[in-house]
Structures are given as C-alpha cells and as structure tokens.
Structure 1
Amino acid sequence: MRTARIARKTHETDIEVEVNLDGTGRYDVATGIGFLDHMIEQFSRHSLIDVTCRIEGDLHVDQHHTTEDSAIAIGQAIDRALGDKGGIGRYGHAYSPMDETLARVALDISGRPFLVWKAKFTQERLGEMDTELFEHWFHSIAQAAGITLHIELLYGQNNHHVCEAIYKGFARAMRTAVELDPRKAGAVPSTKGQLGG
C-alpha cells in the first residue's frame, strides 16, 4: 500500500496528515476552517486518496499559516507515498463542471513544481475563508508534491461553485496521475529514468 504520514509542529501550526493513494476516498479532516475542510474532503472523495488532516493553527492571527501548512503536509505525504513514482500514470487532466461553472485542471507529477493559476473570485470570503488563500493552497501543494499544475476557470459566476469545481477537477486529475498502470511494469515514467531535476 502506498501510504505516508507527516507530522510537523512549528510555532504556527501543529499538524498530522496521513494519505493512502490506493484508498477509497475516506477522509477525516479538521483544520479549524470549515470551508477548507469541505474542499479537502472533496479532494479526498473524488481522487479516491484517503486523507486524514488534523491541524491546530494560529487562527487567532489569521488563516494563512493553517491553509498553507495543510497543503504543504498533504503534498509532502503524497510525494512520500509515491516513492520513486514507478508505474504511475504521471499525467492527469479533468474538466470539472458544477452548474454554471466549468474548470479545467491539468497536471504532471514531474518533480518540477510549478503553478499556473487562471481563476478569480468576486468576493473576499467563502464562509469564513479568505478566497485569496485558495491560489496559495494550490501553490503550496504543487511545491510540496513536485507537481506542475495548471488550473483555469473557463467560466462561472457563483464563487462556491468556482472553488468546488477547481478542487474536484484537481482531485480527478490526481486520481489519474497517481494510479498504477500495469503496462508500465513499475518503470519510472520518464526517458531519464527518474522524475525531477
């Protein structure tokens, strides 16, 4: 089983994350930010990656550190669970509709982190969460997991739908990218013989 656990404690957050790449989409998420919990749960359910993510953060300051560290720890856990990445699909993409909204996500588990973000929100908060932090969440997970990640909102008006379509698209793309392809016989999907660098 491709699993990993990350525990990290700083002056800003105390976090424990576990992932199972071969899971069924089970989740146990408690970040202290309700809308962030909802999005991480969507990621888990639609990627079929089991995710446990429990954080005690300095929310009396603001939501930045908790949001950032949740993405870093989940990304690190995914990277660790992938090992040498032998046999994985590596690439994934998804169109994700939600009512009037359509998002497109494409990614490469390349070991070369990069984020292209082409999405905007028209309100400052969703629930109690600052909408400017969503781009930072994806930047942080791309960096920690070594993912080249392109996210684009093609169209949409409702901010909740925009955010949820993006997370679900990311989940579906990750599901494809981390799945093992038996035809690859465990080979690293690169002519270099390794990913990254």
Structure 2
Amino acid sequence: MRTGRIERNTSETKILVEVNLDGTGTYSVETGIGFLDHMVEQFSRHSLIDVTMKVDGDLHVDQHHTTEDSAIALGQALLQALGDKGGIGRYGQAFSPMDETLSRVALDISGRPYLVWRAGFSQEKLGEWDTELIEHWFHSVSQACGITLHCELIYGTNNHHICESLYKGFARAMRQAVELDPRKGGAVPSTKGQLGG
C-alpha cells in the first residue's frame, strides 16, 4: 500500500499526518480550526485518500502557522506515499459545481511546484477561519508535494460554496493523478524517467 507518515514538531505547531493513497476516503482530522477540518475531510472523502491529521498549533497567536504547517505536512505525506511516482496518472482535472458556484482545478504531479490561483472571497472569515489563508493552504500543499496546481473560480457568490467547490475539485483531480494505470506497467510517466529535478 502507498502510505505516508509525517511528524512535524516546531515551536509553533506539533503535527501528525498519515495518508493512504489507496484508501476509501476515511478521515480523522483535528486541527483546532473547524472550517479547515471540514475542508480536509472533503479532500479525503472525494479523493478516496485516507487522511489522519492531528494538529496542536499556536492558535492563541493566530491561525497562520496551523494552516501553513498542516498543509506542508499533508503535502510531504502525499509525496512520501507517491514514492518514485511509477505508474501514476500524473495529471488530474475537475470541474466542481456547488449550487451557484463552479470552479475548475487542474494539476500535474510534476515535481515542479507552482500555484496559479484565480479565486477570491468577499468575506474575511468562514466560521472562524481567515479566508486569506485558503490560498496559502493550497500554495503550501503544492510546494511540499511538488504539484503544479491551477485553481480557478469560474463563477459563484457564496463564500462557503466557493471554498468547498475548490477543495472538492482539488480532491477529484488528485484522485485521478495518483491512481495507478495498469497500462503503464509501473513506469514513471515522463520521458526523462523521473519527475522533478
């Protein structure tokens, strides 16, 4: 099974993340930020990647370190689980409708991290989570996992729907990208023979 486990302990956060790429979308998420929990749970359920995430962060300061470090740890765990990336689909894309909202997410597990973010929010918080941190979460995960990631809000007005649409789109694109293609025979999907570097 393709699994990853990351423990990240700093003066700002203590984090444990475990993933199973060949899971069923089972999750146990406790970050201390309710809306972030909800989004990571959506990612797990719709990607079918099992995720355990336990975070003890310095929320008495603000939510930045918890958001950033949990995304870094998740990205590192996904990268660890991918191994040499042999046989994976590599690319994924998804249109994600949610009521009045439609978003599009496309990604390449290329080893070359890059985020294109064309989305935004009209309110400062979702629950207690600062909406300015949502883009930063996607940036941190893409950097840590080596993903070229494009996230675009096509249209929508409800901030909850916008955020959830983007996370579900990311999940469904990741599901495509990490799945093994038996026709590839375990080969790394690059003419270079490796991804990244």
| TM-score normalized by the length of structure 2 | 1.00
The CA distance in 1 between the partners of 2:54 and 2:96, in whole Å, is 27
How many residues are treated as equivalent by the alignment?
A: 197
Alpha-carbon shift at residue 42 of structure 1 (Å): 0.1
Tell whether 2:101 aligns with 1:101: yes
Q: In the alignment, which residue of structure 2 is the partner of 1:157? A: 157
CA distance in 1, matches of 2:4, 2:81: 5
Find the aligned partners of 1:38 and 1:138 in 2 and give their Cα distance.
Answer: 15
1:8, distance to aligned residue in structure 2 (A)? 1.1
> Over aligned residues, Cα RMSD in angstroms?
0.2
Deviation at 1:176, TM superposition (A): 0.1
Question: Is 1:138 aligned with 2:132?
Answer: no
Name 1:89's counterpart in structure 2: 89
Q: 1:170 deviation in Å?
A: 0.1
Letter in 2 for 1:40: V
Residue 187 (1) aligns with residue 187 (2) = yes
1:26-37 aligned within 5 A: 26-37=26-37
- SS of equivalent to 2:169: helix
Q: TM-score, normalised by structure 1?
A: 1.00
Question: Which letter does structure 2 place at the counterpart of 1:111?
Answer: G
Q: What SS does the corresponding residue of 1:87 show, helix, strand or coil?
A: coil
Deviations 1:114-135, CA, capped at 9 Å, x for gaps: 0000001000000000000000
Aligned equivalent of 1:3? 3
Quote the residue 2:14 is aligned against.
14
Gaps of 5+ in 2: none
Supply the distance in 2 between the matched residues of 1:171 and 1:195 (Cα, whole angstroms): 21
**Which runs of 4 or more aligned residues in structure 1 lie more than 4 Å from their structure 2 counterparts after TM superposition?**
none
Distance 1:15 1:107 in 2: 26
Following the alignment from structure 1 to structure 2, what is the Cα–Cα distance between the partners of residues 93 and 190?
Answer: 18
Task: Classify the secondary structure of the residue corresponding to 2:102.
Answer: strand
- Which residue is 1:42 aligned to? 42
How far does the alpha carbon of each residue in 1:137-174 deviate from its partner, in whole angstroms, 9 at most, with x for none? Answer: 00000000000000000000000000000000000000
